[in-house]
Amino acid sequence: MPPLSAVDTWPVPNAAAATINFDGSIDTVGDTARPFQLASVTKLLTTWATLVAVEDGSLNLDMAVGQPGCTLRHLLSHAGGYPFSGTSPMAPVARRRIYSNSGIELVAATVETATGIGFGTYLREAVFEPLGMNASVLESSAAYGVTSTVADMIAFVRELTHPTLVDPSTVAIATTAQFPELAGRVPGVGVFRPCPWGLGFELHDGKAQHWMGATNSAETFGHFGAAGTMLWVDPIARTSLVALTDRRFDEWSADALRLWPALSDAVVADADATRS
């Protein structure tokens, strides 16, 4: 039975999902053209637009942004000391990993200032249009406000594995732990010591009892969202998974933290079997 068939049993009103293998083959379930709120999976799209701006010379990852000692790199990796919401820092820079919507919103504001282009427009022109993500739109915060479809997110996952908008060396930096010693909390999941994060991307590393699968490699990177959405890329298994739902994570978190890892493990096993 295909791994994605499990999505049809999830306790959500609507869901769609896809596996995207590095060889280009895909499998889908559900309506891949249905729009879903991405919630914090938005952060990955905001990060990608920011990396485009870094590569074109508009920004520098180590430029000063925010409180003293804080840089764009700190903000993208949730090490800037900013709270989940609110503009006043709650801790010194690089003291601990504090998951922060505010920090990502400050990143977007910095992109606006540096480029002279509104962030929604920049995101569309720098990421959505080149990748053919015609159903994707930023409706509110750059930290959680994109609505998209599985079809569009397949295009984005292909960009993550075979980048065309940024150099592969930039992807390597974004998916490598920044300030790797920092402990922190993954909201709704738990506290991890350390809690590795790249630039925008959460890293699986050695995390146990996590939203990714137990068999996902340490190199797996991705994000999940409070709207009941998730995306990961596993460079070792050479496969990726995106699953979008319209039920808030906090309404079915106990189920999600059982069903998401189970699906992830099944996808990895299927990818391993296919390569054998």
pLDDT for residue 273 = 87
Q: Provide the pLDDT confidence category of residue 178 given band limits of 50, 70 and 90.
A: very high
pLDDT for residue 276 = 67
Residue located via tokens 């637009």: 49
Q: Give residues with Cβ within 8 angstroms of 49, minimum separation 6.
A: 111, 119, 122, 123, 126, 127
Return the bridge partners of 29, or none: 17
pLDDT for residue 237 = 97
Query: pLDDT > 90: what percent of the chain?
Result: 97
Domains and CATH numbers, the chain: 3-275 (3.40.710.10)
Residue pLDDT, tens place only, 76-107: 999 999 999 999 999 999 999 999 999 999 99
pLDDT greater than 80 at residue 275: no
Task: Give the whole-angstrom CA distance, residue 47 versus residue 32.
Answer: 23
pTM summary value: 0.97
Q: Which of 241, 235, 272 is nearest to 28 (CA)?
A: 241
